[in-house]
Structure formats: C-alpha cells, structure tokens
Amino acid sequence: MGNKNNETGGASKRTMKKALLYAAVIVFCVIVISPLVIVFSSSLRTPGNQTSPLNLFIEFSGASYAQAFSNMNYPMELLNSIMTTAGSVLCIVIFSTMAAYPIGRIKSKTAKFLYYFFISGLIIPSQMVIVPIAQTLNRLGIPNTRFTPMIMFITCSLPFSVFLFSGFMKGVPVEIEESAYMDGATLPRRFSTVVFPLLQPAIVSCVITQGLWIWNDYFYPMVFISKKAQYSLPVGMLQFLGDKENPAQWNVLFAACVLCALPLILVFLALQKQFVNGIAAGAVKG
Amino acid sequence: MAKTSKKGVKNYTSPVFTRRMYYFLIPALAFFLIFWIYPVLQLFYYSVTDFNGINYDFDFVGMKNYARVLSNGTLTNSMKNTLIYAVMTVCISNIIGLAVAMILNTKIKMKGLFRTCAYFPALFSAIVVGFIWSYVYMPGAGMIANLITMVGGDGAAFNPLGNYKTALFAIAMVEIWKGFGTTMIIYLAGLQTVDESLLEAASIDGCTQWQQIKWVKLPLISSTITINVILSVISGLKAFDYSFIMTNGGPGKSTKTLMFQVYETAFTDQKMGRASAFSVLAFAFIILITVLMLLYMNKKEVEL
Amino acid sequence: MKWNKAVSMLCAAAMTLSMLTGCGAGGGNDEPAEAAGADEEVSAEAKAPADIYDHEAIENAGDITLTMMVSGTAYENDFETEQLPNLVKEKWPNVTLEVTKLPDDNYYTSLKTKLASGECPDIILTQPMYAGQNSCYSMAEAGYLTPLNDLDAVEGRQDLSSVTYKGDIVTLTNSISILGCYYNKDLFAQAGITAEPQSWDEFLEDCKKLQDAGIQPIVMGDKDQYVLQFGLYQLAANEIYSKNPDYDTQLRTGDTSFTDEGTWDTVLEMYKTLYDNNYIDASQSLGYGASQAITDFIDGKAAMTFDGSFNATALTAEGAAGAFERGYFPIPGKEGVYTATCLGAGYSIYSGSDYVDECKELLDYWMDGKSDVWKAYLSTGRTIATYGEGADSTPNYDLFKPFIDLLNEGKGFYWCNQAWPAGTETEMEALFSEMVGGQGTTVEDITQGMQDKFEDLLDD
C-alpha cells in the first residue's frame, strides 16, 4: 500500500474501485426494483396461473389486465383521478402563490406569523381531524360530491405549498416589480404578469410533489365519496384488500396495481427531468 | 428604493409592497381556517368531552380523557413504536439516500437509469405498496420466503410480520423503500451545488476522499441534510399507512403507531373524546420533536 | 323446522341482556312481562301501533338513486354490488341502487364520517346489539336509524330482540350466523379419524392424530386478529354461557367479571392449548392473513380452520387440493357441545334519508321470502335464512344443519362481542396474540386486561 506501488497499482486499483462501485449500485437497484419486476411479470399471466411468481415472464397474456380493468371500472376511475388531481393542483397553485406573495414580500411580524401559521399545518395528520372536518362540511351544507375530497386536498396541501412559494418568492428580485410599479402596474397585474411567471420552477415543483400525493391518496376520497361513479383509482384499489394474501388472486391484483400506477409511470418517464428538478427545487430552495 | 426601517429591513409601509397585498391571502387563509384550523380547534374541544363519534349529546368531562390516555399505557406504547419507526426510517433512508446520491454524483455511466430505478417506488400509492409488500413478506408463498427456499434455506420460517421483534422493522423497511428515492434526489441536487473547485483544492491539499466528504461536501450540503431529515422525521412521526394496510397494529400491539392508536381509539373504541385528547398530546409530542430537531440541526449547520 | 324455538332461544339470550341495560326489547311481541316491567316508558312506546309506510313509494317516485353501503370483500358476481342492483333495476326501472362494499375497517371509518357529514347512504349494514362499530344499539341511540316496525318482513317475527332498541326494530336481519370449525374430510380419513369430535378431549386427540400423521391440524390467519374470535367465542359458548347465560348481563352490573375463575381463564387456557401443542403454529399464524389461511385450507395444507358461515363460499371453493369433501362442526366443550350461533348483521335505513319509504319498500321486496332478490340472496350460500321459500335448500345447508339443530335444542348462544362495548374484543385479541407470540403475557393478564378495558369503555 506504500508509495512504491502507486505507479503500477494505481490504475488497476482505480478500475477495481470503479467496478465495485458499479456492482454495488447495480445490486442495490436490483433489490429495490425486484418486487416491481415480479409484480409486472405476474400481472402478465392468466388469472388461473398459480405457479410461483418468481418464475419470471413465463407467460404473456392480457387476461388478468382485462379482468382488473373491468373490476376496477378503469376508464371511469382514471378520469376521476385525473379530474381530482388536476382540479386540486390548479387551485393549490393559484391559492398558494397568492398567499405566498404577501408572506414572501412583506417584512413584518404579521407576515412572519402567517408563514409559521401555515407551516404548522404540516404536522397535523388528517386521520386525527377527519370527524370534525366532516362535521364542518355538514354545517356548511357542503354535500359529498367529487369536489369534497378536492377541498381537503387543497387545504392539506397549503402548508407545504405556501412554504415552498414564499421561500422561492424571496429569490425573485424586487427590482423588477418596483419598475413595474413605476410603470403604473396595479397590484393584481404586477402579481399575474411579473411575479407569477418568475415562480415557474417552484410551480413545476409544486405540481409534481402535490400531484403525486393527491393522485395516490385514498383516504379523503374513501371517506367523502359514496357514489361508485366518482371513485378515484386508489379507492378502487381498496376492493382488492382481501386479495393481498390470496395467491389465487395475485395475477389480477398485480395487474390492478400496475394499472393504478401506470398513468404516473408514463408521466414520470416522459417528464423525468422536470420531475427530478421539481422535487429537488422544492426542497433545496424552499 | 423603497423606504427602509432602521434595521435596513423593508417595512410594509413601502409604497410597492403595501398592506393591500394581504388581500391575496384571502382564498388560502379561508380554506385553511375553515377546513383545517376550525376542525383542529374542535378537536381540542372534544378532548374535554365524552363524545363517542356518533352521538352528539355529550358531556363535559374535564381533564379525564387526558388522565386516562396518560395512565392506560396506550400513549407510551404507541409513542415508543412511533419513535423507533421514525428513527429507523430517518436514519436508514437518509444514509442510503445520501450514499446513493454521492455515488451517482461521481462520473458514473447510466446515472439516469439508476436514478430512475431508485425513484420508481415513490410513484406508487401507499395502498399499492402495501399490496406489493404483503406479497414480498408473505410466509410460505411470498417473494422472500420463496427466495430463501430456492437457495436452500427454510423459507417457511420467514415470517417478518408475524414476529414481535421484526414486524415494526419490516413495515419501516417498506416506508424506506418507497421514500428513499425522493431523499436521494434531493441530496443529488444538493451535491450538484457543491463547487468542484473546492473539492479539487482539498484534493491538492492531500485530503483523502473520505476527508473530502466529511470536511467539504457534508458542510456544504448541510441545509439539504436539514430539510431531508426534517421531512422524514415529520412523515415518520405521522406513520399510519402500513400499520393500517399491512399489520393492523399487530402482532399484539407491536406496530401500533401514534396515528394508528388515535384512529383505533376514535373508531374501534368509539371514544372520540379520548382520541381527541390523544391527538392533542400526539400533536404536542410531534411539535416538540420537530422543533428540537430543527434547533439541533440548525446548530449543527452553523458549526459545520 | 323448529325455527320458532330456535329464535326464541336467541331472543331470550338477547332479552336478558337488553333488559338490564335499559334498552328494552319486545317490539310488540309476546315477550315475558318482566321485560316491559323493566322500563315502563319504553314498553308504552313499544305498544304504540306502527304507522304504515307508503307501499307505492317507489312507483310514485320517478327516477331515483338509492345508495347502500356494506362491509366485506366483493366476490366475482357479488350479490350486493352486482346482482342486487340489477335485480332491483329489473323490478323497478326507475330505481338505481348504488352499492358500495368496503373492507371492514374502511367501512367503519367511512360510516362514521358519513354520519358526521350528514351524508350517510340510505341503506347501511348494522350489527345486532353492541357488536362492532356499526352496532345497531349505539347507532339507534344516536338517532341514526329509522324504526322498521311497519315493514311487512318483520311481521310476526319474534327473533328480532337483538336488533330492537327501545321498542323499535332498527335492523332488518333475516339470517343466522354461525361460528364453527371447517374440516377436510380427506385429511381426517388419512389420519384415521372417523367421526367428528364430541368433546374437547376428543378434539385434542384428533389434533394429535393429524399432527402425528404429518398434517397441520389447524390453520388460522391471526395477522388479522379478529379471527381469534372465531375459536374463542365457540369455547365461550361451551364453557361460559352454557353455565351462565346471563354472564354478560352480570358483567355490566358487576356481578361477574372477566377475571372470575372458571370463565374466561378456562376459555383462554383451552384455546392456548392449541398453540402450546403447535396444533396452530403461532410463529406462522401471526404473520398469516385471514385470506391466506382460507387459501391454505382449500389447498389442503391444513385439516381445519375456524371460521364463520359468512365465509362458506370461500371455504368451499376448489383450491389446489381439488374438490375434497368438507365438514363443519362446532368446537366441542369439556362437557357437551354448544354453538356460537345467532342472528347476524342486517340492513338499516338511515334516518336522514330522503327515501325512507322507498327503502322500506325495497327491503320488504328483498326479504319477502319469495322474490328474485330473495332467491339470489339465499343462493350465495352465505345466508342461513330463518323463513321463506328455499330457506332449507340453500347451497351449504348441509354444512349448517348440525348448528341449526343445536340451536333448536337451545344450545346456541350469541357471539360475545354482541354483548360487549366495541373495543373489548380487540384488547382480548391483542393480548392473546402477545401471549402466543411469546411476549410473556399470561392468561391472568388477558382477563384483567379485558376487564379493565370493559370497565373503561363503559365508563362515560
């Protein structure tokens, strides 16, 4: 290990190290991804095929998918998921950028208080307050429709989104706004044409992190939706709960799992860069 | 320039940033107050009543619920489980996340593919993840049990969710599996902000790679570490999904987390009042831990 | 069939309980006078003539959507979620019935929040007396359930006291639910067992024979802790209720206690024997889900499993072991055989519903003992009806016959949790799992824990 060996051993040592590094990363990735591979391989079997799922890709059939597709009423649930997620995220972006505007810009105790006030909401889990929330909705005469879970998604997302945008707002130079002010732009105009466009990276981040969560959440839709026609994908998955330890049902169950995650997987693969940057921007700059 | 206060901080009297801006808060604040703060306050109110969750004809009972929660052992058990769970998820997912991020931050090929693999589990809904891991952990026919049998071990004996010593660890692993990819991406972004020239300088000064990590990289990404740790602490303390979907709190009470216990008290025992008291205490506990962590991490950040 | 006798036994068990807790029963039936005497006001209410609902409500309603929520796992061509809505549509084209079926835990959460938000489905599944989080007594006490006294389907039925709250029938239940032991006749024969066990000792001997023959005697899915009730309640019927039918009533008055010697300590000790001897393998069962246990049973991997009549469809399905013959017997006690067989869950109408009369008409049609809905309902093989056409020719009737006979002999008792405040049984389950999981919990700890929890839950 002395200096003498440096000349001769250095290169091969470096290659060794590199190979080891690759091996480690590959093994690690295989471990992480293997349950998903098995799930995918099983989902391609016919529902009756009960050989061990570890025999990968021994059969290629759409039968399990067809069954899961109709059991879930997939097109409808997909549409509901898209509507709920898109609607909620849109409102979240508008409301929280607006809220972050004064919080991020005004330097006063009130603004600081509001900042922490919103953030404190991060800590409260929804299971805890679900009954009082239901009562509140009742008192306000808000019926259980597909919009009710959206109200809750918007509300629950505010702490994080306001935190994200007000952090980001500080990085948006005030000079641009001041010159807009000199040009006689009104406050709403200044916000919508000057500030809002500059928040774009944070908006991407918000859409991705919050969209991911809303798409995957089953709690609020389960609790607030009674009509099957309004079910979102994760709620539809609940009907398979009894199948999770029943090997006879695995192929269909796994096909349903893939179908449930498929839209997100496609979006992720298509917009990978935005995803990665969005997640990072949210945390690093926030 | 706008008028500045004595401390050099812009005040709200600035003609550009006037108090009128507060109007922008109205929609968000309305939602937050009506659908979050008001229900939370109601929770405080219920915590001193004997409300059972269905019958609205309830009475004031004073601090009895709090006394009960503190004395009947459910709080300590679930707090212990939650802490173990949180410490496990925070440590492991941050260590793995940081290690993988560092490896991926070197000049490695197929970086994108590895990153995608690591992040993939984060795309799945908790309920789907619960299904997948129920299969992975299943005794007898499950994935790991089968693998053990294949390599000649006793697969039938592998039963992580049925064992008191391993159940909590097993569900924490699921959380880590789903969550570490996000942690890793955040670290990766943090590492990319590290100035290469600083590392070169350190290398010229004779720092080993380990020393470079310890004295240059880690201090430079300390704020990233803080944010990652705090985010995973909060989600770890709110743990509910996998106890609910995979173990139902069992075996015995070994995977009952704070949130699971709140849920059970409210819905199984029909003690909404007591569950509210429980929630208030859990809330205080989570705030305390988070604030302590924040203070500690901030201090560390300054030290580094 | 001696249904009346069977049901009046049930009735008596439930009656004694409800009397003392002040939830007077006896919706106009010929119950003993002391029931009425227990609560003057209640009996007066009960005797009031029932109003008659509008039997043409649906016909005059125009296009309506009725909602219904039940718990359980949906099977292929599920009765509630698929057949029922279609059959209703056939009968009344103007009615759309939306049925939601959720797993138990999700059902309870949904129900509670839907009640809190005033958006409860029109028809919901409720359980007799105090059982579960959808117990009809606690829901009726809060005023959420519509009285069903004027339904045609309850006329002349005397078995409804366990769903009668303060003189009002609040749940329409028409079926009996059984807890018993399903067994694999082929495996029994392999181990040289020729007859069903008639006593606890015989039962243990049979387990031993199976074990010696290399067959796993019993498989249970104890990861879903509620399955512990399936065995324990049968033993409680044998060892506790057969000796003192008023045991639970006296629990509430303090005359008995879970810690009394010869009651729950015996039951828990007996059930523990099965684990001690590895007849049920705790290291396996604690990580096994309920459905996995069922799968193992139909795959022929174990000779027995304790389960209810409600799971008969799944347990009689063909698995890897093919169509072997199955039997169903009550776990015998030390002195005689009794059974945990009683009125099961039923359907209630939400009091805030806009379509109370329409729902009543629908339930009446469903439960009339002859309609298409009724026939489809019976042919699920999970339902053991107490009346109506074809009640004794349902698919699994042969399996259930021994239990019904016992019930007719007065040897049937209700499930323990029907008499306990919800939560007592979960404490029992958790502590029992700890004991068989080697956590050092003793039988005394369990009975004490149950007693503490029971008192705690009642104290408000």
Concatenating the DSSP letter of every residue in C244-305 gives -TTHHHHHHHTSS-TTSTTTHHHHHHHHHHHHHTTSS-HHHHTT--HHHHHHHHHTTSEEEE
Q: Is the peptide bond before B160 cis (omega within 30 degrees of 0)?
A: no
From A185's Cα to the closest Cα of chain B, the distance in A is 10
Read off the pLDDT of each residue in B143-149 and give the average, rounded to a whole number.
88
Nearest to A228 among C100, C118, C320 (CB): C100
Whether pLDDT at B300 is above 80: no
Task: State the pLDDT confidence band at C18, using cuts at 50, 70 and 90.
Answer: very low
Contact B251 C222 (CB under 8 A): yes
Contact B55 C439 (CB under 8 A): no
Task: State the pLDDT confidence band at C92, using cuts at 50, 70 and 90.
Answer: very high
- What's residue C32's pLDDT? 36
- What's residue C12's pLDDT? 47
Say how many residues make up chain A.
286
Read off the pLDDT of each residue in C304-311 and give the average, rounded to a whole number.
92
Q: Decide: C6 and C412 in contact? Cβ < 8 Å.
A: yes
Integer angstrom CA distances of residue C32 from A19, C8, C10, C41: 87, 11, 14, 16
Query: CA nearest B242: which of B169, B167, B171, B166?
Result: B171
Distance, in Å, from the CA atom of C410 to the CA atom of C405, rounded to the nearest integer, reads 9
- What's residue C14's pLDDT? 47
Task: State the pLDDT confidence band at C90, using cuts at 50, 70 and 90.
Answer: very high
- What's residue C126's pLDDT? 93
From B293's Cα to the closest Cα of chain C, the distance in A is 33
Mutation target for A interface from B12, B19, B32: give the one with most A CBs within 10 A. Answer: B32
Distance, in Å, from the CA atom of B170 to the CA atom of B173, rounded to the nearest integer, reads 5
- What's residue A244's pLDDT? 67
Read off the pLDDT of each residue in C411-433 and give the average, rounded to a whole number.
91
CB-side neighbour CA atoms (13 Å) of C349: 23
Q: What chains are in contact with C, requiring at least 3 Cβ pairs below 8 Å?
A: A, B
Task: State the pLDDT confidence band at A10, using cuts at 50, 70 and 90.
Answer: low
The predicted-structure confidence for C159-183, as pLDDT tens digits, reads as follows 788 899 998 999 998 778 899 999 9
Instruction: Say what the pTM is.
Output: 0.82
- What's residue C44's pLDDT? 39
CA dihedral A22, A28, A32, A37 (to 10 degrees): 50
Q: Decide: A224 and C113 in contact? Cβ < 8 Å.
A: yes
**Bridge partners for C333 per DSSP:** C336
Chain C partners of B55 at a C-beta cutoff of 8 Å?
A: 138, 141-142
Q: Is B154 on the interface with C (CB under 8 A)?
A: no
- What's residue C47's pLDDT? 40
From B119's Cα to the closest Cα of chain A, the distance in A is 9
From B130's Cα to the closest Cα of chain C, the distance in A is 13
Nearest to C292 among A50, A134, A245 (CB): A245
Query: CA nearest C26: which of C244, C39, C418, C415?
Result: C39
Distance, in Å, from the CA atom of B132 to the CA atom of C240, rounded to the nearest integer, reads 42
Distance, in Å, from the CA atom of A156 to the CA atom of A121, rounded to the nearest integer, reads 8
DSSP class of B247: I
Phi, psi (degrees; rounded to nearest 5) at C172:
-95, 105
Between these two residues, B50 and A125, which has the higher pLDDT value?
B50
Identity of the highest mean pLDDT range in B168-177, C291-300, C400-409: B168-177
Read off the pLDDT of each residue in A204-226 and give the average, rounded to a whole number.
88
User: Residue type for B304, please?
Assistant: L
Task: State the pLDDT confidence band at C16, using cuts at 50, 70 and 90.
Answer: very low
- What's residue C460's pLDDT? 60
DSSP class of C142: T
The predicted-structure confidence for C179-232, as pLDDT tens digits, reads as follows 999 999 999 999 999 999 999 999 999 999 999 999 999 999 998 888 999 999
Q: Decide: C29 and C7 in contact? Cβ < 8 Å.
A: no
Distance, in Å, from the CA atom of B26 to the CA atom of B18, rounded to the nearest integer, reads 16
- What's residue C97's pLDDT? 92
- What's residue C206's pLDDT? 95
User: Residue type for C332, please?
Assistant: P
Contact C117 A134 (CB under 8 A): yes
Chain C partners of B252 at a C-beta cutoff of 8 Å?
A: 430-431, 433-434, 437, 439, 441
Q: Decide: B233 and B90 in contact? Cβ < 8 Å.
A: yes
- What's residue B167's pLDDT? 93
Contact B269 C423 (CB under 8 A): yes
Q: Decide: C372 and C132 in contact? Cβ < 8 Å.
A: no
Distance, in Å, from the CA atom of A48 to the CA atom of C117, rounded to the nearest integer, reads 43
- What's residue B83's pLDDT? 94
The predicted-structure confidence for B91-137, as pLDDT tens digits, reads as follows 999 999 998 898 888 877 888 888 888 888 999 999 899 989 988 99
Whether pLDDT at A5 is above 60: no
Neighbours of C309 (CB within 10 A): 25
Distance, in Å, from the CA atom of A187 to the CA atom of B17, rounded to the nearest integer, reads 9
- What's residue C350's pLDDT? 94
Whether pLDDT at A3 is above 50: no
Buried b or exposed e, range A21-43, using 16+ CB within 10 angstroms: eeeebeebbeebbebbebbbbbb
Contact A241 C319 (CB under 8 A): no
Q: Is B71 on the interface with C (CB under 8 A)?
A: no
Whether pLDDT at A48 is above 70: yes
From B67's Cα to the closest Cα of chain A, the distance in A is 19
CA angle B41, B46, B52 (to 5 degrees): 140
Return residues 129-158 of C near B (CB < 8 Å). 133, 138-139, 141-142, 144
Read off the pLDDT of each residue in B158-172 and give the average, rounded to a whole number.
91
Distance, in Å, from the CA atom of A81 to the CA atom of A74, rounded to the nearest integer, reads 10
DSSP class of C65: E
Nearest to C133 among B159, B247, B270 (CB): B270
